[in-house]
């Protein structure tokens, strides 16, 4: 019996055509693992059933090409024999070296007649790949296509939303497993092991990040043997990966009595997050909302509150919709999926706050995550 070919997860020819027309790009070249996965379904991510295409990408890169009419072509490692199990792209070429890959990519660009037209490249494309294209097509207009990829990926399909929803559920299970295992004297290594086991047992491929700060330890560098102490605020921030899509949830817990002011601190940040929950809806400009949120936050504290919202999907931080670092020149659209974070330092415990995942609906926000936002006490 003939195997049914996979269908696109988030990519669509119609959307690609609209985006490339808007950006005046004749061919878009996908080279990063995230964009190749989005455009083709190939398991090029660092978390895959077997991430061999990611591991060997320096020798055998996988590159996808998207024409302005939405037609696609894929160049990948010849030894990988299961291409048809993963991709909906019909035009697939196998190669045996990075040099052969770029020769095939350039031959396809020439066959598509774009020698003197506009070719969009990712800013993260390896230098040897972009140099090859520039040298082969000196008359072509080469442009930065990062925003074109982002414009295709920001609004999610129903399948993408369901994968993020499942990923969020796994992350929340892992967070609760860590909190339930927490006891005085347990180490960060032991709690990380609990999180990893839970993520895999819950059906995800793996984790995007396992951020954990016990007391005043660096939450970005767990695994040094720090132990849980009574009365200290501890942070656990997890992103699971489910069928290529990630989540981002953070909660805090304490063993024993919480420090004075900890509950009030988190309650203040929840109020700011809820202000944003009530304000996001289609058509609202991200930068303008950030300014409103800053003004609201200053009614609680004049400085030091960190507020950010970032789009999530194949990557944890596809783009910062707004943050102290940047604001995307964009409005919220239905079926965007984002993470809203509000943080402030608390005593010696670094940043303490709240972080949740949401979907933009026709009338506002749907919270995808479901855990209680307040400080967990063991």
Output the domain CATH number for residue 54: 3.40.350.10
Residue that terminates a domain, selected from 135, 153, 171 = 153
pLDDT at 168 over 70: yes
User: In this predicted model, what pLDDT tens digit does every residue of 68-113 receive, in sequence order?
Assistant: 999 999 999 999 999 999 999 999 999 999 999 999 999 999 999 9
Domain presence at residue 2? no
Is 240 contained in some domain?
yes
pLDDT > 90? residue 325: no
* Same-domain status, 91 and 174: no
* pLDDT of res. 206: 97
Give me the number of domains the chain comprises: 2
Report, as an integer, the average pLDDT of 243-259.
97
pLDDT band, very low/low/confident/very high, at 12 (cuts 50, 70, 90): very high
Domain boundary residue, one of 95, 130, 153 = 153
Give ∠ CA 159-165-166 in degrees, rounded to 5: 90
C-alpha distances (whole Å) from 24 to each of 187, 309, 328 are: 54, 29, 20
Over residues 29-33, mean pLDDT: 98
Any domain includes 289: yes
Residues 240 and 93 in one domain: no
Same domain, yes or no: 224 and 269: yes
Average pLDDT estimate for 10-34: 98
CB 224 within 8 A of CB 206: no
- pLDDT value at residue 350: 84
Query: pTM higher than 0.85, yes or no?
Result: yes
Q: Tell me what pLDDT residue 261 has.
A: 96
Say yes or no: 126 and 172 in one domain.
no
pLDDT of residue 2: 61
Both 339 and 216 in a single domain? Answer: yes
Same domain, 277 and 341: yes
**Whether residues 212 and 289 fall in one domain:** yes
pLDDT for 217 equals: 95
Over range 272-298, report the average pLDDT.
97
Domain membership of residue 128 (yes or no) is: yes
CA quadruple 151, 157, 163, 167: dihedral positive or negative?
positive
Domain assignment present for residue 252? The answer is yes
**Distance, CA of 145 to CA of 120 (rounded, Å):** 5
- Is residue 154 over pLDDT 70? yes
Do the Cβ atoms of 227 and 190 come closer than 8 Å? no
| Residues 196, 239 within the same domain | yes
What is residue 150's predicted lDDT score, i.e. its pLDDT? 97
Q: Are 327 and 320 in contact (CB under 8 A)?
A: yes
Q: Are residues 202 and 216 in the same domain?
A: yes
Q: Do residues 186 and 330 both lie within one domain?
A: yes
41 close to 88: Cβ distance less than 8 angstroms: yes
Asked, for residue 3, whether it belongs to a domain, the answer is no
Structure confidence by residue, pLDDT tens digits, 43-71: 999 999 999 999 999 999 999 999 999 99
Cβ pair 347, 259 in contact under 8 A: yes
Q: Where are the beta strands (DSSP E) in the chain?
A: 27-30, 63-67, 72-77, 92-95, 118-121, 141-144, 206-214, 234-242, 245-246, 249-254, 306-311, 319-322, 337-345, 351-360, 365-367, 376-377
Q: Is the pLDDT of residue 1 over 80?
A: no
As a whole number, mean pLDDT of residues 345-366 equals 95
**C-beta neighbour count of 83 within 10 angstroms:** 18
What is the helix (H) or strand (E) element at residue 194, kind and residue range?
Answer: helix 188-201
Q: Please report, rounded to a whole number, the percentage of residues in the chain having pLDDT higher than 90.
A: 97
* Domain-located, residue 147: yes
Q: Which of 133, 153, 173 is the last residue of a domain?
A: 153
- Say which CATH number the domain at 333 has: 3.90.230.10
- Encode pLDDT of 180-212 as tens digits: 999 999 999 999 999 999 999 999 999 999 999
CB 248 within 8 A of CB 320: no
- 55 and 70 inside one domain: yes
pLDDT the model gives residue 5: 85
Q: Are 122 and 191 contained in the same domain?
A: no
- Residue 6 maps to a domain: no
Domain, as residue range, for 311: 158-377
């Amino acid at each position: 019996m003939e195997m049914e070919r996979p269908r696109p997860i988030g990519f669509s020819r119609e959307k690609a055509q609209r985006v490339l027309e808007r950006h005046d790009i004749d061919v878009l070249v996908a080279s990063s693992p995230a964009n190749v996965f989005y455009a083709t379904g190939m398991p090029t991510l660092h978390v895959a059933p077997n991430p061999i295409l990611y591991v060997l990408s320096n020798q055998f890169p996988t590159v996808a090409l998207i024409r302005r009419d939405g037609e696609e072509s894929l160049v990948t490692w010849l030894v990988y024999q299961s291409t048809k199990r993963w991709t909906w792209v019909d035009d697939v070429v196998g190669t045996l070296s990075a040099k052969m890959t770029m020769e095939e990519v350039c031959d396809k660009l020439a066959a598509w007649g774009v020698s003197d037209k506009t070719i969009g490249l990712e800013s993260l494309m390896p230098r040897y790949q972009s140099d090859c294209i520039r040298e082969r097509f000196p008359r072509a207009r080469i442009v930065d296509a990062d925003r074109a990829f982002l414009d295709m990926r920001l609004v999610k399909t129903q399948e993408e939303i369901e994968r993020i929803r499942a990923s969020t559920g796994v992350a929340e299970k892992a967070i609760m497993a860590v909190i339930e295992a927490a006891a005085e004297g347990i180490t960060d290594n032991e709690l990380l092991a609990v999180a990893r086991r839970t993520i895999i047992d819950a059906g995800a491929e793996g984790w995007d990040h396992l951020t954990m700060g016990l007391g005043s330890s660096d939450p970005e560098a767990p695994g040094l043997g720090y132990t849980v102490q009574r009365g200290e605020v501890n942070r656990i921030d997890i992103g699971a990966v489910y069928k290529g899509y990630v989540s981002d949830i953070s909660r805090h817990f304490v063993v024993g009595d919480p420090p004075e002011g900890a509950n009030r601190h988190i309650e203040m940040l929840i109020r700011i997050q809820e202000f944003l929950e009530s304000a996001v809806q289609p058509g609202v400009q991200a930068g303008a909302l950030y300014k409103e949120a800053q003004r609201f936050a200053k009614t609680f504290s004049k400085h030091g509150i960190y507020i950010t919202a970032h789009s999530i999907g194949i990557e944890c931080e596809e783009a910062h919709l707004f943050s102290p670092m940047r604001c995307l020149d964009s409005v919220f659209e239905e079926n965007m999926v984002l993470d809203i974070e509000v943080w402030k330092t608390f005593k010696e415990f670094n940043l303490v706050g709240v972080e949740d995942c949401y979907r933009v609906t026709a009338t506002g926000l749907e919270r995808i995550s479901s855990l209680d936002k307040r400080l967990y006490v063991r």
